[in-house]
């Protein structure tokens, strides 16, 4: 499958990995939109939240909990914003579910 995040997970495309376990990786976004901008990516490929099975929901729930645990070590003591885009209106560009983790600075309140 020609999926950039599957290639990053396999190591075929290099990335700055800050965390990995059996279910997910967290990497630094290549085009940061905040002082700290990470992507939490499940190792299992599914396009977005509309393609999640019940098992995927457990997986994503555990990802959220892990992000919360890791936040202080990622420089996110002051808080953070989580975003997961789906589809054209949200400007999703990589159709492999991922959670943007943004923080390290005060963010705009315009969109969410």
Q: Which of residues 32-91 bind ligand 5GP (CB under 6 A)?
A: 39, 85, 91
Q: Tell me how far, at minimum, the Cβ of 112 lies from Zn ion, in Å.
A: 25
Cβ closest to ligand 5GP, residue 29 vs residue 56: 29
Q: Tell me how far, at minimum, the Cβ of 94 lies from ligand 5GP, in Å.
A: 4
Smallest CA-to-CA distance from 41 within 14, 55, 60, 54 is with: 60
DSSP string, 42-87: ESS---SGGG--HHHHHHHHHHHHHHHHHGGGGT-TT-EEEE---T
Footprint of ligand 5GP on this chain (CB under 6 A)?
4, 13, 15, 27-31, 39, 85, 91-94
């Amino acid at each position: 499958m020609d999926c950039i995040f599957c290639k990053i997970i396999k190591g075929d495309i290099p990335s700055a990995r800050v965390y990995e376990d059996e279910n997910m990786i967290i990497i630094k976004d290549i085009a940061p939109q905040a002082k700290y901008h990470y992507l939490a990516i499940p190792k299992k490929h599914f396009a977005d939240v509309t393609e999640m099975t019940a098992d995927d929901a457990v997986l994503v729930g555990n990802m959220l909990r892990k992000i919360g645990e890791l936040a202080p070590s990622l420089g996110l003591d002051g808080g953070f914003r989580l975003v997961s885009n789906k589809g054209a209106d949200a400007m999703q560009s990589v159709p492999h579910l991922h959670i943007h983790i943004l923080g390290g600075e005060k963010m705009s309140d315009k969109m969410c």
